[in-house]
Amino acid sequence: MYGFSKFYSKFYKYPLPLLLLSLWLVAVFWLSDRPAHSQHPAISTNKEKYQSTLLAKRIMPSTLTENVRKTVLENGLIVLTKEVHTAPVVTVQVWYKVGSRNEEPGVNGIAHQLEHMMFKGTRNRPIQFGRLFSALGSDSNAFTSYDQTAYYGTVERNKLKALLVLEADRMRNSQIEPEQLASEKRVVISELQGYENSPEYRLNRAVMKAVFPNHAYGLPVGGTKADVEKFEVEQVEKYYRNFYTPDNAVLVIVGDFQTANTLEIVKEVFGKLPRQEAGVISPLSPSLSTQHGLNAPLPLTALSTPIVLREPGAGRLLQVVYPLPDANQPDVPALDVMDYILTEGRNSRLYQALVESGLASEVTASVTSLRESGWYELLVTAGAKQDLKKIDSMLSSAIANLAEKGVTSEEVERAKTQLTADVILSNRDITSQAMRLGTDETTVGDYRYTDRYLAAVHLVKPTDVVAVINKYLTKETRTVGFFEPTQKRITEVADKPDSAQTTENFFPGAPVLFSEVMKYLPPVDLAIDAIAQVLPQEFKLTNGLRILLLPDQSTPTVTLSGYIQAGTEFDPENKAGLAAFVADNLLNGTKSKDVFTIAKVLGERGASLDFQTYREGVHIEGDSLAEDLPILLEILADVVKNSTFPTKELELHREQTLTELQLELDEPSEVARRVFVQSIYPKKHPLHTFPTEESLQQIQRQDVIDFKAKHYRSDTTVLALVGDFDLDKVRSLIKNKFGDWEVSNQAPVLKYPSVAMPQKIVSVNPVLPDKAQAVTYMGYTSINRYDPRFQAALVLNQILGGDTLSSRLGAEVRDRQGLSYGIYSSFQVGKNVGTFLIEMQTSPEDSSKAIASTRQILQQIHQQGVTALEVETAKRTLISNYNVSLANPEELTDKILMNEVYGLDKVELHSFTDKIQKVTLTQVNQAARELLHPDQIVVVTAGPSVLAEKSIR
C-alpha cells in the first residue's frame, strides 16, 4: 500500500532513512501466523539497518556499486543499472527528488497527496494503475519521504519494458481530476487518522516541530488533515508539473537483464519526455521552505523544558531528539557507530542503564541523515509506574558517562561488525539493492555514497565516538518530549457480542471490466520464464529432527528458518501467554552461557536469532554471514536444549510483557483482532485464548520449564537453511549439534473442535475513546491448508481483496468511494483451521458505509460469480508474485520450511504455480458460492465512541 515514510525510525537504524512504507497500519494481521504477544523486548535487532563497514576479515566479494552503470539521458534523466543474474526477475524504480522537504505550512502533505494521485491514471491510460501493475504480476508500491518520492515494481524479467512504459507514461501524462482528488483526499485523511491513533506519532510530531521550527523537516511527511482538506486540483497539478520531470528523477533498474539492450529501451521510452519548463522552480534549488523564509541551519538551542503531551493513551513515553549534520558531513559514520554502542542489543549502554534497571521496557533509536540536515532520536517506553523525569535523568547520565569515560575498542569493533553484517544481509534481494542506490542518489547526489560511507566507518576509532557525543549530544541542543496518558484504556475485551442486521441500502458500482485493464496494458510476452527447478536436500536425524538445505552462493550469507510445534494453541486458559513466555526467554541463558554472553557472541558477528510465537508453532528466524553459520547453529542448539530461564530475566520479561499488553490494548487493530477471534472461536477452543494481565501474572518459572520440556521436541522441529554453505559440512555440523537432543513419550496433540458458522450478522463495537481512525475485521471460520479448494480460494481472494488497488473491494471501497486507506481480504490457513478475513481502516464516520458496501460486494460475487478474464488475470498475478518471491532468500526459506511443516512434497516449491494455473472459472465460482457468506459474518469495529452510535444495525 502506498504511503509515506515512517514517521519515526523506531525499528530501523540507517545512515539514510530507507523511506519505508507505512505498512504497519495496513498490513493484514495473520490470525494463524501472527506472533502472539512475542517480542524480544527492549532493543530492536532489526536486520534492515543500512550501514556498515568493510572490516578486513569480512570484505565482500565486491563493493556494493562495482557493476553499477550510471547513464544520463539528454533530457536529464539519471539511469542507474545493475545486472544481478541470480533469478529471472527485475526491479524498476523511479525516484523523484522531491518530498516533504519541499513544502511549507499550508501545503503540508502535497507531495504525499500527489503520490496517491499518480495511481489514478493518465491521458493515455485513464485507469487505476494498480490494476495494470496487478495484471502484470508486479509487486508494486510507492512512498513519500523527506527528500524524495519513489515508485517501484518488481516483476519477472520479460515484463521489464512494460513497467518502463507505465512509469514513463505517468511521469508525463498523469491526470488530476476533481472527483478523483476529492476521493483520494478522503483516503489520505483516513491514513493520517491511523497515524494519529499512535501516541508515539503524536509525540514525535510535537517534538520534531520544536526541533525544526523553521524548516520543513519539522513538518509531518504525510501532512495534516487541515492542509489536505484544502488541496485544490490546480495546486496538485502545479506541483506535478514542477517536480515530476526527467531532469528531477532517477530511474533505477536492478536484476536479470542485459544493460546495453535495456538502455536502448530506456532511451526509446523515456528519452522523448521533455525537460522541466523554463520559469518554474528548479528541482535542484533549495527547498520551498528555504525559499519562503524557513531557514535550514541547525538549531543552536532547544527548549529548556520538556514538551508534555497529556492525552489519552496507555503508556508513558520519552522522546529525545538531537539535531545532527546532513548526510555528507564527515561525522555521520562515527555517529552511527555511537548509536550501535548506545542502543544495539542486550549489551548496549542504554539497555543496561534503562531496561536492566526496570526503568524502561523498551529503548529504540536511530540516526537520520538527510539532504539538508539530520537528527538523532531516542524513544523510551517507560516501565510500569516509572517516572519520565527519572528516566530522562538516567538517560542523560548514561550518555554523559560515555562521554567522560569513553568507549572501549571492543565496543567499537563489535558495532562495526554488526554494521557490516547488517548491510550485507539487507542487500540480498534486488529490490533492496535498488532502494539503496535510489536513496543515495536522491539524498546526497551520489549512488556510490554507501561505498564511501563504509570505508569511513572502517576508520572510526573510540576517540571519534567520544568526540561526536561531546559535539552533538549536548543538553543545550536536545529537545525532550514526554507523553503522559490521561486515562486508562480497556484491559479486557467483551465476551458477548451483540447481534445486529445491516440495513444500509448501499450498492457498489459495476464490477471492474478487466477487458479495460487488458486494453491499457503495455504489450508484453506473457510467457513465463522457466525457473531452475532446484529443490532442497532433505534429511532426518534419528531423534526426528527434519532438516532442509538449499545451497545458494549468490551472497556470502545464510538464512535460517525453523519451526517448533509449541505455539499458543497449547496455552492453558488461566496462563495465556505461556508459550510466548518460553520462546521469548530462550536466549536469556543456558547451562553454559548467560544472557549477555549469548548476546555478545551473536553481536560480535552481526548475526541475528529470534523466536516468534504463533498459534500453531514457534517460528525461528536467523541470519548470519556464511562464515558464522557454525556459531549461529551452536547458539540455536544450546538454547533449544539447555535454556535455564533465570528468575531475574523472567521477571524482567514479565514486566516488559505487561507494559506491551497495555500498549496493545490501546491499539484499535489489536483490540479488533482479539474481539474478532474470540467472537468466531468459542471458549475452550485453542484459538480463543489471549494473554491478559491476570494470566501473565499467573505464570511461574516452573510453568515455563515444564512447557519447554513438554513441547520443545526434536521430532516436532523443522529447520530450513538457504545460503552459501557446503551440504556435507552443514549436515555434519547439524548432526553434531542437535544429534543428542533426546525426546521421550509421544508429542502432544490437540484436537480442534468444529466451529459452526454464525447464523446471522454479528456486530461488535469495542470502544476506544479519542482514537482518530477505526479498524474493522469481518469474517468467519473457513478452510485449512489441506482443503481441495485451497488454490481456487487463493484465486478467488485475489479477485475479491488480494490487492487494495486492483481487487473488487479495493476498486470500490477504497478507490472509487475513498472510504478506506487500505482494505484487504485473505484466507488464512493453518494445519487445523482457517479463517476468512476482511480488514480495513476507515474514518469513524465512514465505517458503516464501508461495511455495507463490502457486504454488497461479497453478495455480488457469491451470487453472480466472477469472470473468466478476472480469473486469468488473478492467476497471472499470483504466479508472477510467487516467482518474484522466490528471489528473496527469506521468503524462499520460509516457503521451504512451511511446505515441510504442512507435510507437502518438497516439489511443492515449484509445482505450486502449476496448481494455480490449472484452476478453472468453474472452480472459482463454486468456491465463491461455498466460501463467501455475506449474511453469516462477524463484524468487529474498534475505534472511537462515535461508533457506538453508528454501529451497523
Q: What is the 3-state secondary structure (H, E, C) of 783-840?
A: CCCCCCCHHHHHHHHHHHCCCCCCCHHHHHHHHHCCCEEEEEEEEEECCCCEEEEEEE
Q: Which of helix, strand or coil describes residue 139?
A: strand
Residue 205 near residue 7 (C-beta atoms within 8 A): yes
Please report, to the nearest 10 degrees, the dihedral formed by the alpha carbons of residues 613, 619, 620, 622 taken in order. -110
Cα–Cα distance for residue pair 646/585, rounded to 1 Å: 9
Cα–Cα distance for residue pair 231/111, rounded to 1 Å: 11
First to last CA, the chain: 31
Which helix (H) or strand (E) segment holds residue 320: the answer is strand 317-324
What is the per-residue pLDDT for 874?
93
Name the β-bridge partners of 321.
377, 479
Which helix (H) or strand (E) segment holds residue 539: the answer is strand 537-540
Cα–Cα distance for residue pair 834/752, rounded to 1 Å: 11
Cα–Cα distance for residue pair 235/578, rounded to 1 Å: 55
Cα–Cα distance for residue pair 158/88, rounded to 1 Å: 8
Kindly report the three-state secondary structure assignment for every residue of 322-376.
EEECCCCCCCHHHHHHHHHHHHCCCCCHHHHHHHCCCCEEEEEEEEEECCCCEEE
Please report, to the nearest 10 degrees, the dihedral formed by the alpha carbons of residues 333, 338, 339, 340 taken in order. 100
Kindly report the three-state secondary structure assignment for every residue of 221-281.
CCCCHHHHHHCCHHHHHHHHHHHCCHHHEEEEEEECCCHHHHHHHHHHHHCCCCCCCCCCC
Rg of the chain on CA atoms, in Å: 27
Crossing angle between the packed helical segments 647-664 and 701-711, to the nearest 10 degrees: 90
Q: Which of helix, strand or coil describes residue 594?
A: strand
* Cβ-proximal residues to 462 (8 Å cutoff; 6+ apart), any chain: 406, 407, 408, 409, 411, 412
Which helix (H) or strand (E) segment holds residue 379: the answer is strand 374-382
Length of the chain counted residue by residue: 953
Q: How many CA atoms lie within 13 A of 316 on its CB side?
A: 18
Which helix (H) or strand (E) segment holds residue 318: the answer is strand 317-324
Nearest to 578 by CA among 702, 431, 401, 751: 702
Nearest to 847 by CA among 771, 935, 760: 771
Name the β-bridge partners of 512.
none
Name the β-bridge partners of 613.
618
What is the per-residue pLDDT for 280?
56
Cα–Cα distance for residue pair 816/805, rounded to 1 Å: 10
Nearest to 296 by CA among 217, 211, 215, 208: 215
User: What would the pLDDT profile of 39-54 be if each residue is shown by its tens digit?
Assistant: 333 333 333 333 333 3
Q: What is the DSSP string of 924-948?
A: HHHHHHHH--TTS-EEEEEB-THHH
Nearest to 782 by CA among 15, 17, 31, 29: 31
Cα–Cα distance for residue pair 434/49, rounded to 1 Å: 15
Residue 720 near residue 893 (C-beta atoms within 8 A): yes
Cα–Cα distance for residue pair 76/868, rounded to 1 Å: 44
* Cβ-proximal residues to 455 (8 Å cutoff; 6+ apart), any chain: 53, 54
* Cβ-proximal residues to 521 (8 Å cutoff; 6+ apart), any chain: 132, 135, 136, 162
Cα–Cα distance for residue pair 243/285, rounded to 1 Å: 11
Which residue type, as a one-letter code, is found at position 139?
D
Residue 491 near residue 665 (C-beta atoms within 8 A): yes
Nearest to 374 by CA among 458, 460, 290, 297: 297
Grid coordinates in use for 406? Answer: 569513553
Q: Which of helix, strand or coil describes residue 411?
A: helix
Query: Alpha-carbon torsion 616, 618, 624, 626, what sign?
Result: negative
Which helix (H) or strand (E) segment holds residue 627: the answer is none
What is the per-residue pLDDT for 530?
59
Grid coordinates in use for 647? Answer: 528468575
What is the per-residue pLDDT for 770?
83
User: What would the pLDDT profile of 132-147 be if each residue is shown by its tens digit?
Assistant: 998 888 989 999 999 9
Given a cut of 70, the residues of the chain with pLDDT beneath it are 1-63, 278-302, 487-514, 525-532, 945-953
Residue 22 near residue 819 (C-beta atoms within 8 A): no
DSSP 3-state percent helix, strand, coil across the chain (nearest 5): 45, 20, 40
Grid coordinates in use for 855? Answer: 457486504
Residue 940 region, left (φ>0) first, then alpha (ψ -120 to 50), else beta?
Answer: beta
Provide the 10 A C-beta neighbour count for residue 550: 21
* Cβ-proximal residues to 59 (8 Å cutoff; 6+ apart), any chain: none
In sequence order, which ranges of 585-628 are alpha helices (DSSP H)?
A: 595-603
Q: Which residue has the cell 510467487?
A: 882
Residue 32 near residue 62 (C-beta atoms within 8 A): no
Give the pTM: 0.89
Nearest to 914 by CA among 905, 902, 925: 905
